[in-house]
């Protein structure tokens, strides 16, 4: 699977708050949060589900990855989504190992695995 997704009984806002706290532990910060529901409704489109995309980054890791392979920039920053599905809140991300495998660079695969493990820990700690 290309993703890692967890389910929580928390509200979207509670889940995002917990995510932000867990991200800090791994020295990641939220660069931007995109509210898809709000943006679609702003454009006159009907979309009733809560769906938020958080772009997250650890500056030290971003620098390390980009110094190794600039093509990795196509996958930065990392995205975490928080959304409603059948009355539950889901928190998920695409796995860095899945994305970085497209680079065919063994060193990048090791970087991606480290970041993935840390972000999986963040998601697990947020439920």
**Rounded to the nearest 5°, which phi and psi values hold at 27?**
65, 30
Q: Tell me the pLDDT tens digit for each residue of 55-107.
A: 999 999 999 999 999 999 999 999 999 999 999 999 999 999 999 999 999 99
- Which two three-digit tokens encode residue 84? 């409603």
Predicted pLDDT of residue 4: 98
pLDDT tens-digit map of 44-69? 999 999 999 999 999 999 999 999 99
Range 33-42 average pLDDT = 97
Residues 58 and 117: their CA atoms lie apart, in Å, by 14
Phi, psi of 104 (to 5 degrees): 50, 50
Q: How far is Cα 36 from Cα 96, in angstroms, rounded to an integer?
A: 22
By the 8 A CB rule, do 118 and 40 touch?
no
Residue 108 · residue 65 · CB < 8 Å: yes
What pLDDT is stored for residue 11 in this prediction? 96
CB neighbours of 82 closer than 8 A, spacing ≥ 6?
12, 15, 16, 19, 50, 51, 52, 54, 89, 90, 91
Type and span of the H or E element at 111: helix 106-126
């Amino acid at each position: 699977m290309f993703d890692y997704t967890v389910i929580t009984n928390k509200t979207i806002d509670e889940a995002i708050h917990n995510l932000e706290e867990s991200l800090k532990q791994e020295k990641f910060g939220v660069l931007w949060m995109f509210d898809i529901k709000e943006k679609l409704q702003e454009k006159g489109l009907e979309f009733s589900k809560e769906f938020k995309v958080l772009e997250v980054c650890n500056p030290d890791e971003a620098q390390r990855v980009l110094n190794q392979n600039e093509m990795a920039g196509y996958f930065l920053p990392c995205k975490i989504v928080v959304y409603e599905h059948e009355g539950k809140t889901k928190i998920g991300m695409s796995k860095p190992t899945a994305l970085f495998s497209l680079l065919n660079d063994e060193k990048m695969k090791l970087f991606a695995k480290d970041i993935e493990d840390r972000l999986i820990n963040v998601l697990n700690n947020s439920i």
